[in-house]
A and B are shown apart, each in its own frame.
Chain A
Amino acid sequence: MAQPRSLFKKIWDRHSITTNEAGQSLLFIDRHFCHELSFHAFNMLHGNNRTVRHPERTFAIPDHYTPTTGLNDTDYVDADTQALVQNLISNAERNKLNLFGLGDERRGIIHVVGPEQGITQPGTIIVCGDSHTSTHGALGALAFGIGASDVSHVLATQTLWQPKPKSMRVTVTGKRPTGVTAKDVILTIIGHIGAAGGTGHVIEYAGSAIQELSVDERLTVCNMSIEAGARAGMIAPDDTTYNYLRGRPFAPQGNDWEQAEEFWRSLPTDEGATFDREETLDATSIEPMVTWGTSPEDVLPVGASIPDPASETDPKRQDALHRKMDYMGLIPGQPISDIKVDRVFIGSCTNSRIEDLRDAANILNGRTARIPAIIVPGSGLIRAQAEQEGLDKVFEAAGVEWRPAAGCSMCIGVNGDFVKNEERCASTSNRNFEGRQGRGARTHLVSPAMAAAAAVTGHFTDVRKMEKN
């Protein structure tokens, strides 16, 4: 009998064109996404007089620098950002790439659009010059971020040399309690294995608590794999996946679908396949989480208190704690629920899908935000769906700003939406690094429901205590 193989191994083997003397595999790349910051790669490609080998496999979508108030000239924060967006569009046109340009309702954050359009499919290898490419693994793809030189390599050859990563399985058993979201699950996992815990590994998320997640939720989990240091995160395709994909514009249709589904059903990890590392977590003990420091591993349940550096014996760790507290403006031992928040951001490739917006609306419904809050949909289609469901009315009634144009926005703060120096932001994005949302910005990562709750109360509040209104 054939060796039992993992989902990851099956995809890897199927895409390996050849291996070299060092044991690296030359992998065939099925889908490739580009955004504005791919400009270095296009410059490298054109500078070497090379062309795109498979333009039909590359999708260009501006998302990082596009404004969220609208897409008129006056909405751009400055001429440079607009030029960068235009530059991607002209590179896409010059090289005949698939382009979801300005004014295209399908446009949005790449990692939201790929799954939504059915471009992301089980068993594929997907790359993009963006670390959160790991998101696409939620549909059973092997998806990972690469740098500009590798982007130009993929454009020119549709391949990449890769040493084989190690594998890790994170099994989440049991059922997650009410009020606990996929964001809390992944934050708990990161807190458990650490920001470098997954380095060199591809993570497969498994177990009953993962299987019962919707695709939107799975995308949230896989999105933050990179925050655990992992190359990629993936979840085996199942009926949830197929039901989600069926009928999407770029998904196989008709007879093609039948063949595709048959193949996809062969992908899940075989019984008896082994992993280099196994971790298990119990979903029943997971609580709504809040990050307090400047690494996603600095995370605690909302009911906990900020650590006290004085109780740390290792001087290096004590130093690191002091530094984080200083940057974040926190008091040692302070209860998290006492921390006052200045602003709220709901959006990003982690949490800007329709279910995230419904979660936020659920908390905001009939309540009023005390602090400035913005909500940015992940794609034009999500915006339309939310408005059809009347979520925009809920947000407006709560005094929350509903932004009409999709994009990365305050997650990275380069399009004019940023958090001011020393301002504290409850954010549904994925990175709380120093300066990530703007110079001196103090980011706390939370779920959409927790972010909405913070908007209403002005401090971190356990959503489980305010679910009903």
Chain B
Amino acid sequence: MEPFTCFTAAAVPMDQDNIDTDQILPARHLMMPRDERYGGYVFKDLRLDQDGNEIESFILNQDGFRPSRIIVAAHNFGCGSSREGAVFTLVDAGFRAIIATSFGDIFYNNSFNNGLLPVVLPEETVQLLRQQLHEGAGAEVTVDLEAQTVTGPDQSVYPFEIDAHRRNRLLKGLDAVGYTLQYVYDITTFEGQYSDDAPWELSTAQQ
């Protein structure tokens, strides 16, 4: 996984609440293996009509916003299904950070496993950022994980909170399983105690 320290890129405002994982990656494309095609499916049904032509009104189809690599969304981005494909497609399309007032929990979690940084900021800030981006297509935003700050197009700096464990993993690009396997002694000890306490529990699982 690619580490994330500080990232500056053009950002695109997406005003709708509840952009769900079906909008990010429609279910019909879930069976694809992870390969070079993945990024091409991002926001597929919002971007392209039935015949594969671009839908003009969709913001990422507007020239000034095409190069965007950061999304500034609204409420509840990535709600819905657990499909990690929604994160794969965003990452493979080049997005490295999403800023919103809230995220779907599973999407939020999945992001950290793929080097995508979800940033939660207060409503006024997110609204202001979106407004500035609408006014100046192609404007840049900086997301600094080390400093835990977002810098807007007007150079205003906004601090954000993030769980220290997730931050650390992202900064180092750590493999989660490798990290957990350092705890294998604790896991084994726990399992021994657990089956002593509830012998019926394991016997039923092993049927």
Contact = CB atoms under 8 A, between A and B. Distances in A.
Given A150-B113, A157-B177, A252-B204, A414 B31 contact: yes
Contacts of B54: none
B80 A152 contact: no
Nearest to B15: A316
5 A-B pairs with least C-beta separation: A22-B165, A149-B113, A256-B200, A147-B110, A147-B84
B22 A436 contact: yes
Given A147-B109, A150-B109, A435-B26, A24 B76 contact: no
B177 A263 contact: no
B18 A295 contact: yes
A226 B205 CA distance: 26
Interface string B185-199: 011001100100011
Given A17-B186, A200-B105, A147 B83 contact: yes
A259 interface: yes
A30 B201 contact: yes
Contact of A439 (B28, B87, B163): B28
Contact of A195 (B76, B176, B201): B76
Contacts of B81: 130-131, 145, 431
Contacts of A37: 30-31, 83
A55 to B, nearest CB: 10
Interface in A247-278: 249-253, 256-257, 259-260, 263
A159 interface: yes
B205 A252 contact: no
Interface residues of B, number: 62
B176 A149 contact: yes
A229 B45 contact: no
Interface in A33-60: 36-37, 39-40, 43, 48, 50, 56-57
Given A18-B183, A150-B109, A157-B181, A196 B165 contact: no
Given A22-B165, A163-B163, A260-B200, A434 B22 contact: yes
Among B18, B107, B187, B190, max chain A CB count under 10 A is at B18
A146 interface: yes
A242 interface: no
A65 interface: yes
Nearest to B204: A252
Nearest to A50: B177
A434 B102 CA distance: 20
A28 to B, nearest CB: 6
Among A252, A316, A433, max chain B CB count under 10 A is at A433
B186 to A, nearest CB: 5
Given A129-B82, A146-B109, A439-B26, A263 B198 contact: yes
A28 B191 contact: yes
B6 interface: no
Contacts of B201: 30, 124, 252, 260
B23 A435 contact: yes
B107 to A, nearest CB: 8
Given A22-B163, A161-B176, A320-B16, 7 more contacts: A26-B186, A129-B82, A149-B84, A158-B187, A431-B22, A433-B20, A439-B26
A91 interface: no
Given A130-B82, A434-B23, A436-B27, A57 B102 contact: no
B37 interface: no
13 contacts: A22-B163, A23-B164, A30-B205, A48-B177, A145-B82, A163-B165, A196-B17, A199-B103, A252-B203, A413-B28, A433-B80, A435-B22, A436-B22
Given A48-B177, A146-B106, A195 B79 contact: yes
Given A320-B16, A323-B16, A435-B23, A249 B105 contact: no
Interface in B170-190: 175-177, 180-181, 183-184, 186-187, 190
B22 to A, nearest CB: 4
A388 B171 CA distance: 59
B23 A433 contact: yes
Contacts of A251: 204
Contacts of A153: 176-177, 180
Contacts of A295: 17-18, 20
Nearest to B18: A295
A439 B47 CA distance: 13
Nearest to B86: A147
Contacts of B20: 295, 431, 433-434
B53 interface: no
Contacts of B200: 252, 256-257, 259-260
A81 B29 CA distance: 11
